[in-house]
């Protein structure tokens, strides 16, 4: 195969070396227009995908995954509309996404092969996912994976001050990180997710994606569902 390719390119090079510039352009146009067109289309598509991936983070004010609920709570739901109004974020600039279509139990077989868990992992590792809600026991199991933010971190000081008495703990699998329990979630069983929208039975909790860059939006969501004041968006 290598010899054939080498012979082909040498033959083409010899042909082109004997042509004028105008003849070369005509030859390439007549014999390679399809390959060139496909290459250009491929490069355009790749560039678009790379652009979309690189700009995804700036496309959202807040991305929330409401896992393991059969109730309607996604984007455009009453819950979503209430948060949009409460937060004051301008949706003409960036989006607020509520995803209520995920279902996985990390405590069972570490959710191996579950497509929803794989989406959670991809979105979390890419920094897209800001927060996830689910049952408290399920959330603390998920916290063992290291994909939920350690709420003891410096950037969580405001959350710790306001909601530290609600923290839920888990010992991470990565024992080099910690052999002691670390706070990975916040109990919100008394929030409107339960009392008004009935999303879960037996309580619920929220965890923050380990790579989230929108802690202000997470704090606003907590204030909203726990009915803390009227809301005040940093971007309003």
pLDDT in tens, 94-144: 999 999 999 988 877 666 678 999 999 999 999 999 999 999 999 999 999
pLDDT in tens, 33-46: 556 566 656 655 66
Q: What is the pLDDT of residue 51?
A: 42
| CA neighbor of 205 nearest in space, from 190, 188, 223, 228 | 188
Q: What is the pLDDT of residue 233?
A: 47
Average pLDDT, the chain: 84
46: number of Cβ within 10 Å: 10
Q: What is the pLDDT of residue 107?
A: 75
pLDDT surpassing 60 at residue 234: no
Instruction: Show me where the domains of the chain are located.
Output: 9-54, 57-225
Q: Which CATH fold topology does 57-225 show?
A: D-Maltodextrin-Binding Protein; domain 2 (3.40.190)
Residue 189 makes CB contacts below 8 A (sequence gap 6+) with: 136, 203, 204, 205
């Amino acid at each position: 195969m290598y010899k054939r390719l080498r012979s082909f390119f040498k033959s083409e090079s010899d042909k082109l070396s004997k042509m004028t510039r105008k003849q070369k352009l005509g030859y390439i146009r007549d014999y390679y227009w399809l390959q060139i067109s496909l290459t250009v289309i491929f490069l355009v598509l790749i560039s678009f995908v790379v652009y979309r991936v690189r700009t995804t983070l700036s496309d959202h004010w807040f991305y929330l995954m409401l896992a393991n609920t059969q109730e309607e709570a996604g984007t455009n739901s009453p819950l979503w509309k209430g948060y949009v109004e409460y937060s004051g974020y301008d949706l003409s600039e960036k989006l607020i996404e509520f995803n209520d279509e995920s279902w996985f139990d990390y405590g069972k077989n570490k959710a191996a092969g579950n497509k929803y868990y794989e989406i959670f992992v991809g979105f979390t590792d890419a920094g897209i996912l800001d927060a996830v809600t689910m049952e408290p026991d399920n959330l603390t199991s998920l916290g063992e994976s290291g994909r939920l933010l350690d709420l003891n971190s410096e950037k969580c000081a405001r959350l710790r001050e306001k909601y530290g008495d609600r923290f839920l703990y888990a010992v991470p699998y990565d024992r080099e990180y910690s052999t002691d329990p670390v706070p990975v979630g916040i109990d919100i069983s008394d929030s409107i997710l339960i009392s008004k929208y009935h999303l879960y039975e037996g309580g619920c909790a929220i965890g923050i994606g380990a790579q989230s860059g929108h802690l202000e939006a997470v704090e606003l969501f907590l204030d909203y569902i726990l009915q803390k004041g009227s809301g005040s968006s940093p971007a309003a």
